[in-house]
Structure 1
Amino acid sequence: MSPQSPTATDLLHCRYGADQGAKIERHNETVEAMLSHRSVRSYLPDPVPEDLLQLAIAAAQSAPTSSSLQAWSVVAVEDEEKRRRLEQLASPNPQIVSAPLFLVWIADLSRLRIISQSNGRSGEGLDYLESFLVASIDATLAAQNALVAFESFGLGTCYIGGMRNHPSEVAELLGLPPESMAVFGMTVGYPDPAIKTAVKPRLPQSLVLHREHYRSGAVERDLDGYDETMRAFQSAQDMAVRGWTKVVANRIGDAQSLHGRHLLSAIMRRMGFKIR
């Protein structure tokens, strides 16, 4: 590490927006890159080099995969008109258009169905919720590996859950086969240096790290502290100062707040998933 490198204390304070009381003295470049992650929504027009895309996909394929099923795929979209259409389907996410590369991560059971049938089996195991969970988790683990790889080379990224707003339309646009669905997207590109984005504080470890059994006590007190941390962050970033808990309550307050995703189970069945 160079003398200018941040200390572990610096990195943790930045990530949590407050002192966590952690006694951590060691870190490395990999951990530094992960703790420094921030979503990037403003990009330069420069294309993502092809070798970095291929390297990031290799990193994605190096992620763990349940039973080696490798039940995911990814569609790289660079065509501007197609990105505009995807942005409309995931609106409002204008970074899909401004980023030169948009990756759509697919929970893909179609390949497994072909393999099963070519071996004289029905593939009934694919008809259950477990298999869709496996495919979704595999895609998520792969995507996060790719994200870390991209960011290690100075690229910025942002996950887009809006791919699930209109999954059948996304599938048609991308030519997805039955039993495959976009679970999220990821914008990739070089961050616009004119737009400064700070690291967003996360929940304190006291709310997410449990030892031996789940602790429900002190949640309200710790959430109050996190609300204060988030209000300070929002103010410093010239954002609407709303804290965190009220934003979350609105996001999950009713079915309409899911932006059409409350219909996912019925839509998925029309897309070929059995989901027993």
Structure 2
Amino acid sequence: MNENEVLNTLMNHRSYRKYAAKPVEPDKLRRIAEAAQAAPSWVNGQQMTIIFVHQESHKERLAALSGNQRHVAEAPVFLVFCLDFYRTRLACELEGQPYEAARDVDALLVGATDVGIAMGNAIAAAESLGLGIIPIGGIRRNTAAVIELLELPEYVFPVAGLCVGYPGEELPKKPRLPLEAVCHEERYNRDTQGYIAEYNAAFREYLKAVGQTERDWSAVIAHFYSLNPQYGDAGQTLPRQGFTCDNLQK
């Protein structure tokens, strides 16, 4: 079966940590932003904002705050995707209505989902334009400092970053879990440990191909989540940004 251009772009994704010393054209960045904004959102609320960061000193600071990830500083441009209910509050003020959504934990789910969908569009758009990217979850390590640096108002919160630039290296495609491990019919299939064992072998081969230490995928994931039972400072900064979630049962 011949795959179309969109599917080819999606299926050939790579995550790049090295970029060519070449700026990204403004018209391409605008197209990426337009693609992100075109994504669907809950009640068409468009609960997402992108901060484009070009200034070297700001990228250096964000690289440090993200766990000293040098590719954040070295990428030509760094995008910070934020869940955004500030505009929602402004809409409520315009209509003379109270803004209560931030008290509901569902607002966090909505905002994070809208960011994820928009970022997916942005990634596909960037890659279709010949650019390389890598998402940066480390932006949530020190959100208080990120909020201050980017001057984010109340009801806005940084969820993920995205390095964008022309690739400065060639990379093989990273394998994924067997489709049967992540796509289930009618009900959740808990009997997937065999698929993980199968994937461990493919993951080790990939690491060998890129010159990295061979490890099982399961070992990498177990190590990460055992060391990071609580990632970053979001527990403290979310309430400061107005997300009290006081209807969440404890």
TM-score of the pair, normalised by structure 2: 0.95
Between the two proteins, the alignment pairs up a number of residues equal to 246
Alignment partners' CA distance in 1, 2:82 and 2:211:
35
Residue 220 (structure 1) shift: 1.9
TM-superposed CA distance for 1:85, in Å, is 0.4
Segments of 4+ moved more than 6 angstroms? none
In the TM superposition, residue 254 of structure 1 has moved relative to its aligned partner by 4.2
- Alignment partner, residue 236 of structure 1: 209
Counterpart pick for 2:23 among 41, 44, 47 = 47
The alpha carbon displacement at 1:63 in A equals 0.7
Residue 164 of structure 1 pairs with residue 137 of structure 2: no
Shift of 1:107: 0.5
**Is this contact kept in 2: 1:57–1:146, CA < 8 A?**
yes
Partners of 2:69 and 2:89 lie apart in 1 by 33
Query: Which position in structure 1 is the counterpart of 2:183?
Result: 209
One-letter identity of the residue aligned with 2:139: M
C-alpha displacement of 1:272: 2.1
Amino acid at match of 1:269: P
TM-score (norm 1): 0.86
Q: CA deviation at 1:270?
A: 1.8
Q: Assess if the C-alpha contact under 8 Å between 2:102 and 2:242 holds in 1.
A: no
Deviation at 1:187, TM superposition (A): 0.3
Show the counterpart of 1:247. 220
Change (3 A) 1:255 1:231: closer
| Deviation by residue 1:241-268 (Cα, 9 ceiling, x = unmatched) | 1120000001111446x5x42x422321
Structure-1 separation of matches of 2:167 and 2:25: 14
Counterpart for residue 264 of structure 1:
234
CA-CA distance at 1:45 after TM superposition: 1.8
Structure 2: unaligned runs, 5 residues or longer: none
Residue 235 of structure 1, CA deviation: 0.7
Is the contact between residue 227 and residue 244 of structure 1 (CA under 8 Å) also seen in structure 2?
yes
2:103–2:243 contact (8 Å) kept in structure 1 = yes
CA contact 2:102–2:155 (8 Å) conserved in 1: no
**Correspondence for 2:124 among 148, 154, 158:** 148
Q: Which residue of 1 aligns with 2:34?
A: 58
Check the 8 A contact 1:44/1:191 in 2, yes or no: yes
Identity %: 32
What residue is the counterpart of 2:86 in the other structure?
110
Q: Is 1:226–2:199 an aligned residue pair?
A: yes
Match in the other structure for 2:160: 184
Greater alpha carbon shift after TM alignment, 83-92 vs 113-122? 113-122
Contact 2:86 2:156 in 1 (8 A): yes
2:105 maps to 129
Contact 1:113 1:126 in 2 (8 A): no
Aligned counterpart in structure 1 of residue 149 of structure 2, from 161, 173, 180: 173
Gaps of 5+ in 1: 1-24
